[in-house]
Amino acid sequence: MSDEIKQLKLWTGNHYNEGIGRDDIFDKLREECGVFGVFNIPNASSLSYYGLHALQHRGEESAGICTVDTADNNNFAYHRGMGLVKEVFDKEKIASLKGDRSIGHVRYSTAGESKLANAQPLIFRYRDGDLAVATNGNIVNAPEIRKELESQGSIFQTSSDTEVIAHLIARSPKDFEAAAKEALQRLVGGFAFLLMTNDKLLVASDPNGLRPLVMGKMGNNGYVFSSESCAFESIGAEYVRDVQPGELLILDENGMREDRYATVERRATCAMEYIYFARPDSDINTINIHSARKRMGKQLAMESFVDADIVTGVPDSSISAAIGYAEQTGIPYELGLIKNKYTGRTFIQPSQELREQGVKMKLSAVRKVVEGKRVVMIDDSIVRGTTSRRIVNMLREAGAIEVHVRITSPPFKNPCYYGIDTPDRKELIASSRTVEEIREMINADSLFFLSNEGFIDSVGGNDGAYNRGMCLACFDNDYPTPVNEESDKSCSC
Amino acid sequence: MSDEIKQLKLWTGNHYNEGIGRDDIFDKLREECGVFGVFNIPNASSLSYYGLHALQHRGEESAGICTVDTADNNNFAYHRGMGLVKEVFDKEKIASLKGDRSIGHVRYSTAGESKLANAQPLIFRYRDGDLAVATNGNIVNAPEIRKELESQGSIFQTSSDTEVIAHLIARSPKDFEAAAKEALQRLVGGFAFLLMTNDKLLVASDPNGLRPLVMGKMGNNGYVFSSESCAFESIGAEYVRDVQPGELLILDENGMREDRYATVERRATCAMEYIYFARPDSDINTINIHSARKRMGKQLAMESFVDADIVTGVPDSSISAAIGYAEQTGIPYELGLIKNKYTGRTFIQPSQELREQGVKMKLSAVRKVVEGKRVVMIDDSIVRGTTSRRIVNMLREAGAIEVHVRITSPPFKNPCYYGIDTPDRKELIASSRTVEEIREMINADSLFFLSNEGFIDSVGGNDGAYNRGMCLACFDNDYPTPVNEESDKSCSC
Amino acid sequence: MSDEIKQLKLWTGNHYNEGIGRDDIFDKLREECGVFGVFNIPNASSLSYYGLHALQHRGEESAGICTVDTADNNNFAYHRGMGLVKEVFDKEKIASLKGDRSIGHVRYSTAGESKLANAQPLIFRYRDGDLAVATNGNIVNAPEIRKELESQGSIFQTSSDTEVIAHLIARSPKDFEAAAKEALQRLVGGFAFLLMTNDKLLVASDPNGLRPLVMGKMGNNGYVFSSESCAFESIGAEYVRDVQPGELLILDENGMREDRYATVERRATCAMEYIYFARPDSDINTINIHSARKRMGKQLAMESFVDADIVTGVPDSSISAAIGYAEQTGIPYELGLIKNKYTGRTFIQPSQELREQGVKMKLSAVRKVVEGKRVVMIDDSIVRGTTSRRIVNMLREAGAIEVHVRITSPPFKNPCYYGIDTPDRKELIASSRTVEEIREMINADSLFFLSNEGFIDSVGGNDGAYNRGMCLACFDNDYPTPVNEESDKSCSC
Amino acid sequence: MSDEIKQLKLWTGNHYNEGIGRDDIFDKLREECGVFGVFNIPNASSLSYYGLHALQHRGEESAGICTVDTADNNNFAYHRGMGLVKEVFDKEKIASLKGDRSIGHVRYSTAGESKLANAQPLIFRYRDGDLAVATNGNIVNAPEIRKELESQGSIFQTSSDTEVIAHLIARSPKDFEAAAKEALQRLVGGFAFLLMTNDKLLVASDPNGLRPLVMGKMGNNGYVFSSESCAFESIGAEYVRDVQPGELLILDENGMREDRYATVERRATCAMEYIYFARPDSDINTINIHSARKRMGKQLAMESFVDADIVTGVPDSSISAAIGYAEQTGIPYELGLIKNKYTGRTFIQPSQELREQGVKMKLSAVRKVVEGKRVVMIDDSIVRGTTSRRIVNMLREAGAIEVHVRITSPPFKNPCYYGIDTPDRKELIASSRTVEEIREMINADSLFFLSNEGFIDSVGGNDGAYNRGMCLACFDNDYPTPVNEESDKSCSC
């Protein structure tokens, strides 16, 4: 609707950028939100502010916090807005969100004011009082549940599928906890849920554990929940464990109870979290992301060594892997590509004319570093190939004599139904092309993808902690839940 | 929640101010919104912008427009925001609201972001598509309908009672038009409704016609609807007639059909619209407001002549009546009180200390005009008396030797249930005090209220067009609908 | 440069609007700033805020306050910005401007950020410390002084002629007070000056007293200075006297000394202040503006009676005169024209197409009031005639059967050199046309201007206080200072 | 004055952050602005936008662009504002700055509106027309020149010392070019100047070449000038050469002439540009910054090897050196510290209470990476030691068993007079303490600084291109110009 919010964001490596131009939208995967919960800790909104700030890379377009104040009749308060956490909240707003419980959310994308209504946490008023919902992921069968609810007279305020869970709960004759459990059982997909009423906080992960969700503790009997563990480090909380697939945690005046609403047939953590989305200082299933990526780089070196002068990573997500590749091969690691991190929402994208003159948006090659060199360029994935081609050409124009592209994941061939915004299958370059065809399209001297087995080994590493239960559907078409062509792919949040 | 929105607004005379300080909130009645609809006219959003701008005095806190584009699959688009019409919309936003049908709304008051959700038009998605609702007034029995709906599993996004009509429609097995008719029949109160789906625009007035709503036409087969006729003049539309009590107009691809959903037992147009709320250039039931007020002033002069040197009106709502009083008595009409119209939302209210030093907020007496004079001060009503006392004292400090207060309405004794925000009965100064007691409290030399009969005659005037069907409940306790102490008084919009 | 600030403002009657469209710019005179000074009163910035707010009608485009804190080493602090006083300042900013002395300014017009530099008070750093200057009016010989200074190596930060006085002072070998006196003696024009250094506050009026400037007192030994006395009423200060032509007041740690820098050969207060610019609750030379305007209306009635049904004034500046005309003739005074006061800077002007459809910007005729009536329309002046023609036609379209235009001033024939922004002589409709020709152009049934003598008598009224020393150059071409075609006409502030 | 602008910024590595908290201000050096010039290229303002964006790390607090349009009478246009380039300018503003010549500026710090006046380019109007000045660096003898000018009657609009050059030029009887040359000869210090009049663009570097300034070309006969060469890559311009010490370039309708205003006795490029300030993709004196820093890391490894498990760099400025250290020693390079790049101006700093609870501002240690490890931590410098101590402790709390700090520069002992904001000598931790004392204070297991000779060799590298002419005064107290205790240290820009 408006041009204001035409930027999408990606997170890359040990830093993450503030936005890329529209034409890049279709060539990078987009993360689908982050959630953060606080239970039984004073100034919950303030902690949420810092927690969500640490999850900012998971969603830069809207932010929201809802609090419950047990010292004041379990009152609800909330604030949501478009923009970064630091833009949506100021001291006054945080102070006005009183309470010792909260749930918060960052969201990756939207389009204009009319979508502020979709910013989470969603807030509902129903029979038993207030209900707030924050989620990360996607409910595959939301459209059919929604249709069913509408036929029964439900009305929806948002286009967000997340709203269906609130209606399922409100329509149930059972009490909130039982109703929520029943509602969760109806949902198919990959999701992490935080549900808060005046009395209770519920925390749930989907039956395959597709989307990450971790639990921490803080102070006396205080709990925190987060999409990624990096938020715990930033607020001084202690990591306890990952929320398990099919698990349902109930927190109220009696403390926390651990329950489950589904049996787990297959654990299937999203592989792209390890490859691309999560911050390098987060751990998922106790595996550190930076370390996993470095192992991917090493594995890639073992699988596809090439004689070259320097190794460089596409900032920011491929930095760790590039370091690993360099370490394994002994080829020096260099900053051959550099990113301007000031580029953000209000940045004026260069016109076509300026681009042709050579004005670059945010990534540029470092001439003195790459000139006359044979370059190994590490990247995390190739979606449509247009960005890869642009970067390869950028390196060549800066004087690289050879550009060897190494990808730290297997070819991305199939769309995601669990909360990652992917183009249609036919637009995925790897869905219908050989590696050699892709290499030619991106103008590389050579191109290798990490093997499925190599990737799995890299994530698991040597620490034996990992049970290999990942969702690799985007690579191998083996979806952990039923899906069909009509299934909803767009993110529920 | 925030201090930003601490101003309330009143409309007065041939101009209207932008806001008064918080302490005045409790001593002035507040209008409860304005609605504006467009059917079958290109660039409906642009017309709505100018129409709502003309209704701005009815609500200064939020504004919204929703459009349907019959040239593009009857698509919905909408934008709402906090602030004046000119603040909420810019050219780009108006241009993005494409379509030839629209409903718009201005709202008088809210408190913080969390209430942006209450800004109208409310937007719902239900079985049959999109539904937008804009209303002015109050549904007396909304709380009980809401409770009933919640017990059946409905969830509410807003605290606005307006939402009940959407739920009633969505839950009905009938088609939209029949469902809406049935829903309207369940509502008790005073209201003007604009309901728009992808296919239809419905326009309805409550069974007593409490809140004003007029119909106009423009261009070929185009219709416009407005809370007040002044908006027609400002957009160049032609007034057709007032929407009648209990009437339901249906506008769709077949044009307009006139129907009714209720029989009218008593017409009861809100008396305060004539006295205080409406713009002087509006007509209600074909009676011009300025002219009616001038007649009130003349009638007041006949009922309560006093020998004095000048007549002055409290700006802006009492200007017309003061002119009438002066004309009738021959006492010169003077600008003895003047208002600073720049005072608005962001204006810093003077601290108590500054007030004691004499810093005035927005109204001041003109010393040279009132010094040494016996002053007749015309005002429209006395709610709690604090403002009246302040103005009388202001005139005395500026040198007035006598201040005779004349009120252009009967004593305001009873709360309103139909969309005007009034304090509790016990805080209404006239509910428990004699005129002499009030006179003493406001420090006037004399005080007269217009008689009920005198008021009724003034509104009717000499043109015989008026059938005297007004709601005078605030004066005579005769409510046109059932109400009880638990009835909802707050505005539904 | 930018479209944002394309609105100009006029003040009219007992209310004043927030802006008119660009096409009106050339048909209304624009006021040229207001100044406000505080000496020896705690929280001077806060008082200035309220004082400038009362002078807002004299300049709506920028505002600024500079303070000196005698309790903290006579430190300077200042803040300036584009917009209304309430927009430029918030509580935090006012609180940060500490001190017991201040000068402030409101400015009528500018064009884009690059002109923020021109917002006053202008601040300079020179040999003896800080110097702040606020002015209202125009220095006729500024261009030649500027040229002389530049040839000596002076550089200018602004395009404002006000800057010349600072350079003259800085280059003088004498002390500040003597230097300022000498500098003032070099200036030709109409101006009110407030000059503040770390040690002193100087207040000066031009040798003919063209621009208004009044002195008040407040508290113990506190003084206030203002372009208009209405600001005193709004802050609770007591009017003392008008600053006299050629007078120079020096306020410092020893209190106030009265001096003069020029002998007065002719007092020549600007006539348009009485007619159009000043607020009706201000007094100039002890004459109340509302009362003077009412006398103009009465005098006009005596000079040009016409048989009619109603009298109406063009809001806001002609309201007082219309009341006077009605009182004198016995023809009823009515609100035949009404103005939408919400129209302001961010308001979207209707497109040409919408205007042709009938969308009105801000003024509209009240059909029920004027329909079938013979209307006397009172206005303050005719500059180019386009606005008058538009209003006359608006009345006719609303049903007026006759429109008789009566102007409360003589024909405006000559440009102003003293701080009022007037078009070139050839664009002034009265400079080359007979009254009959003008009548025809504006489509009126009859047209009369107030006579020069009638105007002078009206201002003087019956109170004998007025010595008739006005500048009527715009009517009679008799300029109180030397001017020539090259003289600077644009406002110095 | 206001809290809004309490953040300062530092640039680090291949990314750079948006700001750190106030308490860090005193422990990090701050860069002092960047300049960017365009000559004879259409849409100069647009190129300046992208060029300044690439220099954003040199100044995040204000930005400004001034253009000359040779196609329209050599008209000046300019816009300046507080904030990042992307915040200060939008499409409309860039479009309104018409012309084919421009100078632009980014500035690192200021405090409130009153300092907007100090935002560059400074604009003056003098005898010969308009003059715009943008500078990076500091004029050591500005205070005495200013005093002399003031005694002659000059007045200053800003507190910026840059203004003296405009006064010197304006007071000279010679023509602009000769006057500018003479003025430059009077200045002592380190500076890069862009001076633009309606007719000419002048480019000058100080006689020792302390501050970087490079020349590039673009299109036909177009020239660009920039503080750093990275801006050329981002706009597609071609690097030509560094502007030489004492050089003066004159660009006008006849093209570019190369002149000099001073003989060079000693080239003395600021060492801290290589170590800390410049972007890794910039070249200074043809030496690439990333490569130089990597050599510093290698040299440091040779001088101070320590047996450890991992090497980590403090992001962002020490990443390159850490890579070099790892490469030289074979110890793995890891992301042991990670920075949140979203932290910026509007970010709410955690309260003391929250910090004690463990809430971190923007840097955090990656537990899984450092736990149980002996860590080599590479940083660029130690100013007061407080930040170093905090980071060392952060690593220890995350489980590091040893922390060995290695600094890529010699001890910082002496303040800078050439445009870098340094604390007083007594607050520089190395000015009065031994390395062992510092080690103890920062709680490190070992601490080494790079030797002077090692540093010089590292910058020169193996390419023989470098003549070793650096200013190392902060390390060795050998200032290239006269300075004394009274000399102005604050940045002129």
Which chain A residues are within 8 Å of B153, Cβ to Cβ?
126-127, 154, 167, 170-172
User: Which residue from D234, D294, D368 is facing A360, i.e. has the nearest CB?
Assistant: D234
Any domain includes A264: yes
Interatomic CA distance for residues A16 and A324, integer angstroms: 19
CB A420 within 8 A of CB A273: no
Helices (H) and strands (E) in chain A, counts: 17, 25
Rg of chain C (C-alpha set) = 22
Measured over the CA atoms of residue B370, residue B372, residue B378 and residue B384, the dihedral's sign is positive
User: Which residue from A234, A290, A339 is facing D359, i.e. has the nearest CB?
Assistant: A234
Which run of H or of E encompasses A396?
helix A386-397
CA neighbor of A166 nearest in space, from A125, A220, A204, A213: A125
Q: Are residues D75 and D144 in the same domain?
A: yes
Strands D374-379, D402-407: pairing is: parallel
Any domain includes C488: no
Give the highest mean pLDDT range of B8-22, B226-240, B449-463, C465-479: B226-240
> Identity (one letter) of the amino acid at C201?
L
pTM score, whole prediction: 0.88
C positions 59-88 inside 8 Å of B (CB)? 84-87
Any domain includes C380: yes
- Choose the final residue of a domain: D246, D270, D294: D270
- Choose the final residue of a domain: D270, D301, D319: D270
Q: Are residues B124 and B158 in the same domain?
A: yes
Predicted local distance difference test score (pLDDT) of residue B31: 60
Check if C18 contacts B (Cβ < 8 Å): yes
Number of alpha carbons in the 13 Å side-chain half-sphere of residue C151: 6
Q: Are residues B260 and B389 in the same domain?
A: no
Predicted local distance difference test score (pLDDT) of residue C486: 64
Buried b (16+ CB within 10 A) or exposed e, A68-90: bbeeeebebbbbbbbebbbbbbe
Check if C335 contacts B (Cβ < 8 Å): yes
Assigned token pair, C32: 């040229």
Among B181-195, B222-236, D350-364, the least confident range: D350-364
**Domain, as residue range, for C319:** 287-465
List pLDDT tens digits, range D400-442: 999 999 999 999 999 999 988 888 888 899 999 999 999 999 9
List pLDDT tens digits, range A365-415: 999 999 999 999 999 999 999 999 999 999 999 999 999 999 999 999 999
Nearest CA in chain A to B128: A150
C84: Cβ contacts below 8 Å, ≥ 6 apart: B342, C56, C60, C63
The label of the residue with tokens 């560059």 reads D120
Predicted local distance difference test score (pLDDT) of residue B374: 98
Q: Are residues A266 and A313 in the same domain?
A: no
Measure C123 CA to nearest chain D CA, in Å: 7
Any idea what the CATH number is for the domain that residue A238 is in? 3.60.20.10
Residue D20 is classified by DSSP as: B
> Identity (one letter) of the amino acid at C444?
A
Interatomic CA distance for residues B318 and B336, integer angstroms: 12
Nearest CA in chain C to D118: C117
B476: Cβ contacts below 8 Å, ≥ 6 apart: B410, B414, B452
Q: Are residues B293 and B404 in the same domain?
A: yes
Q: Of residues C33, C66, C230, C471, which has the active-site annotation?
A: C33
> Identity (one letter) of the amino acid at A253?
E
Any domain includes D26: no
Any domain includes A55: yes
List pLDDT tens digits, range C39-87: 999 999 999 999 999 999 999 889 999 999 999 999 999 999 988 999 9
Average pLDDT, integer, range C442-470? 85
Any domain includes B2: no
Any domain includes A472: no
Q: Are residues A385 and A410 in the same domain?
A: yes
With vertex at residue B107, the alpha carbon angle to CA A159 and CA B187, rounded to the nearest 5 degrees, is 75
Interatomic CA distance for residues A157 and A327, integer angstroms: 53
pLDDT over 60 (residue D463): no
pLDDT over 70 (residue C109): no
Q: Are residues C301 and C417 in the same domain?
A: yes
List pLDDT tens digits, range D304-343: 999 999 999 999 889 999 999 999 999 999 999 999 888 7
Nearest CA in chain D to C113: D79
Residue D431 is classified by DSSP as: G
**Do residue A50 and residue D89 have CB atoms under 8 angstroms apart?**
no
Q: What ipTM was reported for this prediction? A: 0.89
Q: Are residues D291 and D206 in the same domain?
A: no
Within D19-175, where are the H helices? Answer: 22-25, 44-54, 85-88, 91-96, 142-151, 163-171
Predicted local distance difference test score (pLDDT) of residue D159: 80
Q: Is the peptide bond before D350 cis (omega within 30 degrees of 0)?
A: no
**Sheet order of strands, B62-69 included:** B75-82, B62-69, B101-107, B34-39, B222-226, B214-218, B238-242
CA neighbor of D149 nearest in space, from C171, A205, B35: C171
Percent of chain A predicted with pLDDT > 70 = 89
D33 is catalytic: yes
Q: Are residues C118 and C178 in the same domain?
A: yes
Residue C326 is classified by DSSP as: H
The SS3 assignment for C285 reads coil
pLDDT range class, residue D460, cuts 50, 70, 90: confident
Top residue of D220, D340, D459 to mutate, by most chain A CBs within 10 Å, is D340
B399: Cβ contacts below 8 Å, ≥ 6 apart: B367, B370, B371, B372, B373
Any domain includes A407: yes
- Choose the final residue of a domain: D212, D246, D270: D270
Assigned token pair, B1: 């929640």
Q: Are residues A351 and A433 in the same domain?
A: yes
Predicted local distance difference test score (pLDDT) of residue C268: 95
**Bridge partners of residue B375, in order along the sequence:** B310, B403
Q: Are residues B391 and B437 in the same domain?
A: yes
User: Which residue from A235, A335, A354 is facing D358, i.e. has the nearest CB?
Assistant: A235
CA neighbor of D233 nearest in space, from A356, A352, A364: A364
**Do residue B369 and residue C291 have CB atoms under 8 angstroms apart?**
yes
Check if B417 contacts A (Cβ < 8 Å): no
Among A12-16, A205-209, B465-469, D379-383, the least confident range: A12-16
Q: Are residues C303 and C172 in the same domain?
A: no
pLDDT range class, residue C10, cuts 50, 70, 90: very low
Any idea what the CATH number is for the domain that residue A339 is in? 3.40.50.2020
Check if B175 contacts A (Cβ < 8 Å): no
User: Which residue from A79, A114, A170 is facing B155, i.e. has the nearest CB?
Assistant: A170
List pLDDT tens digits, range D96-154: 999 999 999 999 864 334 467 778 999 999 999 999 999 999 999 999 999 999 999 99
Domains identified in chain D, total number: 2
Percent of chain D predicted with pLDDT > 90 = 74
Check if D193 contacts A (Cβ < 8 Å): no
